[in-house]
Amino acid sequence: MIRSTSTLRVGVSCAVIAATVSLWTAMARADIPLTDPATSNGWDVSTSGRVDAYLSWLFGETVNSQGRGNLTGDGPIDRYILVGPQIGIKGNAVPEGAVADTLGTKLNAPRIRGGFASTILGFNILKQITPDLKLTIKTQFWGGIQNAQNAAGIRQYNDSVSVDWREQWMQLDGSWGLLWGGRKIGLYNRGGMRMNWLLMHNHGVGQPCDVDSSGSATCGHTGTGSMFPARHAQIGYATPEMAGFQLNLAMLDPAMLDAFANPAWNRTPLPRFETELTFHKSLAEKDEINAWANGLSQSIGRTTDQQPAAGVPGIPADKVLQVYGVGGGAWFRISGIGVGGTGWFGKGLGTAWALGNTAVDDAGTLRTHFGYLAIASYRAGDFEIAGSYGSANAKETAWDADPTNPNKISLIKQVRAIGGDVAYHVGPVTFSVDGMTVKNTWHRGETQVYNVISAGMLAEW
């Protein structure tokens, strides 16, 4: 049993790439052409991307040393085991003396880091094969700017960053719709992540993931209201757009359960299925209306028995669980005013992404999760301001709440955040200041409250 709050894995990021096939494409400025189709046998190759840097300062109050919970009442040192959330803030605490229960509860940590999406280098390859068949190939490399910790937990002076080959897919489109295959963003909560990106955090940091996050992106509102669609190997199809509506269907490489419970949920009998119905309507100038509804379903099973022991019930090797999620939302931008809201609900999800580390309890029951996010923004000329409120929640199962549970866990109850952002655009460069206050609450009353303020700039092409 893991006894501390989980941190975000290196390589998992919370930035998005949007539009029908990619969130980044929707926000990218005009791609820079690298070829002339007239002289390259019809191949059109272009590049797009961004580079950014932010001073990000996190401060606040964390839980007890080593991520332990409150006293169980069974003794002066027996404490609950904290379970979740997926994205945790720990490390770089200020010592308060040689008392184990209070040492290091104050957080104060400055970093120089990349933003919600950090350094990106993308290549777009197009060819009109026939009048009704176009081929699109997309590759994108992402890289962080901040140093990583080594195996000993040390951030070295001369460390180098890793490069994440984030997007690799091909797509065929014509009057019959779109057919794609490769590694690209998932469909479940793609609309919610796109709203977060377009209305607020495309030029900021938001939730930094954790103090020592070293990935190629930060988290925006991921884990604090928005669920991360992530990127997956997949094959998908989208219908032609009809009166603004489009239905997207995809089969994705199935995932095993990332859980604090016994990790033997590693049998995936079928692919994961995701779908999203979208609506988009362009209005005058840059005004638009967007709405979506989406869903996810995947079977997950075991390969070994869990024998009853010390009050923990047994789980047969052939047990199969059905993870599912539903969600939806809408946002609009009219005369510089942008307003949007999204929500999601399901079993076996998590606080930040599906099949996460709070998905299932030790008795083999999927936990219920839900979340919501609201954002309002206003842009006048080159000036932009935004505010947000979001929450991700997990419900206890009967086993979690059972006082005879020998594991004595305290499950995450809620992660909620209030955010704000101010930006000024100067051509391809954007200067911004954004902040977020986050409160994590566990079911046994433990709390963690922290704030983060980030200021910096980005350039995109």
pLDDT along the chain (461 residues), means of 10: 35 32 45 87 94 95 78 84 85 65 75 92 96 97 87 81 90 97 97 96 92 85 95 97 97 87 82 98 91 98 83 87 98 96 97 94 94 97 97 96 88 97 97 97 94 96 92
User: Could you give the CA distance from residue 37 to residue 250 in angstroms, rounded to a whole number?
Assistant: 31
Per-residue model confidence (pLDDT) at position 260: 62
Between CA 5 and CA 47 the distance in angstroms is: 39
What pLDDT does residue 30 have?
66
Cα gap 34→28, rounded to integer Å = 16
Claim: this prediction has a pTM higher than 0.75:
yes
pLDDT given at position 37 = 85
Given this model, what pLDDT does residue 20 score?
Answer: 30
Residue 220's Cα: distance from chain center in Å?
A: 8
Residue 146 vs residues 1, 89, 305, 384: alpha-carbon distances, Å? 31, 17, 43, 27
Q: How far apart are CA 360 and CA 363, in angstroms?
A: 8
Contact 155, 144 (CB under 8 A): no
Is 291 within 8 Å of 390 (Cβ atoms)? no
* pLDDT at residue number 16: 32
Radius of gyration of the chain (CA): 23
d(CA 51, CA 43): 27
**Is the CB of residue 302 less than 8 Å from the CB of residue 265?**
yes
The pLDDT, as a whole number, for residue 299 is: 97
Q: For residues 53 and 456, give the distance between their C-alpha atoms in angstroms, rounded to a whole number.
A: 6
Domains of the chain, by residue range, sit at 23-460
| CATH topology for the 23-460 domain | Porin (2.40.160)
What pLDDT, on a 0 to 100 scale, did the predictor assign at position 259?
67
CA distance 23 to 28: 9
**What is the predicted pLDDT for the residue at 102?**
54
- In this prediction, residue 76 carries a pLDDT of 80
Position 27 scores a pLDDT of 44
Both structure tokens of 235 = 């094959």
pLDDT the model gives residue 262: 60
**Is the previous residue joined to 85 through a cis bond, with omega within 30 degrees of 0?**
yes
C-beta atoms surrounding 358 within 10 Å: 25
Give CA–CA dist 336/6, Å, rounded.
39
Strand partners, 128: 134
